[in-house]
Chains A and B, each alone.
Chain A
Amino acid sequence: MAVESNPPATTSAPVAEGSLLGRGVALLTPVFAIAAGWIAGVVAHLVPGANLDQTQIVAFMIAVSTSALTAAWKWLQGWQQHESLVAQGLAPPRKQAPTPKKATS
């Protein structure tokens, strides 16, 4: 696979993103999707004059859940780009990564 053109490698002090924000979003994405679908169902019931039957409400819930999943995926793509920039030294980390434990062998 071809590698796109990037800033050259350096041997300066290594940096890495230490924030757990990305992990939190990744773990909570299913919760977001289910919550969005549930809220969509509630809203479809409450909106006056909508008169949606059960099939239409389910379709609406699936559409909203998919939208939430898509938004989360897009956000996670952006987070990966952020970590890429931090690794290149082109952006500051939100939180400096802690030093992991040293190897024992």
Chain B
Amino acid sequence: MNALAAAPGDVLAVWDGDGPGAELIRLGALLEGKPAVANHVVIVTHQDQVGRWMGIQGQPGGVGPVDCTPYLSDARTRSNNAQPRLDDHAQLATFLASAAKSLGIAYDWVAIGENALQALHVQDLSKEIDPLWRWPSDHNLLPGHVVCSSLAAMLYDLPAVGWAHPDLGEERQCAPADWWQWSNAQSWG
């Protein structure tokens, strides 16, 4: 099988099924004029003892581990494996430690609401509900709520990591379609 190359720190934007939830996420991407392919994002962290690439993902039950193998062999997956990521100040170690510390972070339902309002072009209302569960503004603090794609954007955006990523400055609103577009167009170049 011709699987995608993988490395710790990669972000995979993936098609994760045909359920109503997945279709609604892709419909939201359509409404914003983005590619309606990815509805989920996983972050590659390590290989397990039998060589499978493992990672973490934001999900309604809280951030948890995930087996990346099926996604790496799916032609719809887009990976930022080729993105240059500086590691001269132990950024990767910080990234992976932060990823480990992210396990269990609750799902960001407010961000889902904000994303829905943005997709419907009701930006003002989206800004109004943001203070309800605003992300911490202090450096290197992890937020209390994330979705799959904002988890990846948040980890890339940590000051001690500082890797390029989509939705710079609006990490909380980062959607799977943004990561898919980012990797498909290799926007880091």
Contact = CB atoms under 8 A, between A and B. Distances in A.
Interface of A: 1-4, 6-11, 14, 16-17, 20, 22-23, 26-27, 76-77, 79-80, 83-84, 87-89, 97, 99-105
Nearest to A11: B4
Interface of B: 1-5, 14-19, 23, 26-27, 30-33, 35-37, 70-78, 164-166, 168, 181-189
A9 B164 contact: no
Nearest to B71: A3
B17 A1 contact: yes
Contact of A22 (B1, B14, B36): B36
Contacts of B26: 80
A23 B30 CA distance: 5
B75 A8 contact: yes
A48 B97 CA distance: 74
A11 B26 CA distance: 23
B30 A9 contact: no
B185 A99 contact: yes
A87 B37 contact: yes
